[in-house]
Amino acid sequence: MITVKIHGGLGNQMFEYAFARALSLKNHDSLRVDPSSLYDITPREPDRYRKKYDKTWRKDVKYRSYGLADVFAINPAFNWVARIESVVKIPYVATIVNKYYPRVFGKLGVWKYIKEKGMRFDPAYFNLKGNVYLEGYFRSEKYFKDYADTIRKDFTFRHPLEDDSARLGKEIAESNSVCLHVRRGDNVWNPASQKTHLVIPMSYYEKAVAIIKERAGKDIGIYVFSDDIEWCRTNMKFDAPLTFVGDEHKGIQDGGHLQLMSLCKHFIIPESTFSWWAAWLAPSNLPRAESRGVEGLGKIVIAPDEMFKDKTIETQDMIPEGWMRI
């Protein structure tokens, strides 16, 4: 059996699931997910910092929550701990249990406990067999590339776009659309994130827009998505039609935004797993030389060359072949 810890935001949850799913298919084995930490109601530092920054924050809204089954037409089985914690919620006790039980069970021989080391792709993980518990982010297409068709099918959106979102989706799909994603959120208000993550500068977006206009044509329309859309309205100006996609299109667990983003032809993404997946799920996901898109061009995806303040973090395996880093 392959069990994987599901944690972080939706983009990270998708990477974790994708690798575990691929490994289970390779081994012809069953899959269990463990999102138990996402059901923990213990107050956390990120929630307190978010409250200071975001005046709309409410105590009943959690910083992170399990989103795979809400956004996509899948319902992976929980392991027994997650089944219990999704119903019985005991703060503080749950935090301790979730932190230690996978490793303790590993030492007791219940399973092989595997914790990812660093962000480089490690092909040795594909040799894992038997009863395995995985903990990590596994943020590379290389972990599931051989099973890409299955992963793409698994990540079929559960809810179709409706009303104004459906009309916006049709407009995006039928135009020379560019998804421009701005991540601020926790990179701005969470001191822990500030130590590691960069807030991508405006110069990056200006350069990326210029490259796409040169390669995809001047008739592009830019659709701006962000966790701080009002900041974008105030600060982002480009020589191209701009549409700021507001929170009214977010949908359940931000699934509406992800679905709209994935309808775009080209992408300018920050250091975000959320928009990484939007770009990957979009049609014509092969490198430009092998695919056909708008005006004979394949999909253009631009990502930042620098993603973290810590220069020792290696990110070269995060960006698929055919995408551009600037």
Structure confidence by residue, pLDDT tens digits, 82-102? 999 999 989 899 999 999 999
Are 268 and 2 in contact by the 8 Å Cβ rule? The answer is: no
Over the stretch 241-297, which tens digit does the pLDDT of each residue have? 999 999 999 999 999 999 999 999 999 999 999 999 999 999 864 444 443 344 445
* Nearest-angstrom CA–CA distance, 42 and 36: 12
- The answer to whether residues 272 and 145 belong to one domain is no
Domain boundary among 127, 154, 181: 154
Are 181 and 226 in contact by the 8 Å Cβ rule? The answer is: yes
Quote the number of domains for the chain: 2
Q: What is the CATH number of the domain that holds 209?
A: 3.40.50
- The answer to whether residues 138 and 85 belong to one domain is yes
Inform me whether the pLDDT recorded for 79 exceeds 90.
Answer: yes
- Residues in the chain, overall count: 326
- The answer to whether residues 171 and 320 belong to one domain is yes
Per DSSP, the three-state class of 15 is: helix
For residue 190, the model assigns a pLDDT of 61
Termini Cα distance of the chain: 41
Domain carrying residue 98: 2-154
Edge-to-edge order in the sheet of strand 242-244 = 242-244, 221-226, 177-182, 266-268, 301-303, 324-325
- The answer to whether residues 21 and 97 belong to one domain is yes
Domain boundary among 133, 154, 175: 154
Q: What percent of the chain stands above pLDDT 70?
A: 87
For residue 63, the model assigns a pLDDT of 57
Inform me whether the pLDDT recorded for 204 exceeds 90.
Answer: yes
For residue 96, the model assigns a pLDDT of 95
Over the stretch 28-70, which tens digit does the pLDDT of each residue have? 999 999 999 999 988 765 555 555 555 554 444 455 799 999 9
- The answer to whether residues 217 and 317 belong to one domain is yes
Average pLDDT over residues 133-146: 97
- The answer to whether residues 8 and 100 belong to one domain is yes
For residue 75, the model assigns a pLDDT of 96
Inform me whether the pLDDT recorded for 113 exceeds 90.
Answer: yes
Domain boundary among 121, 154, 187: 154
Strand partners, 114: 134
Q: What's the one-letter identity of residue 129?
A: K
* Nearest-angstrom CA–CA distance, 66 and 36: 9
The closest of 133, 99, 120 to 318, measured between CA atoms, is 120
For residue 298, the model assigns a pLDDT of 84
Phi, psi of 115 (to 5 degrees): -110, 130
* Nearest-angstrom CA–CA distance, 165 and 161: 6
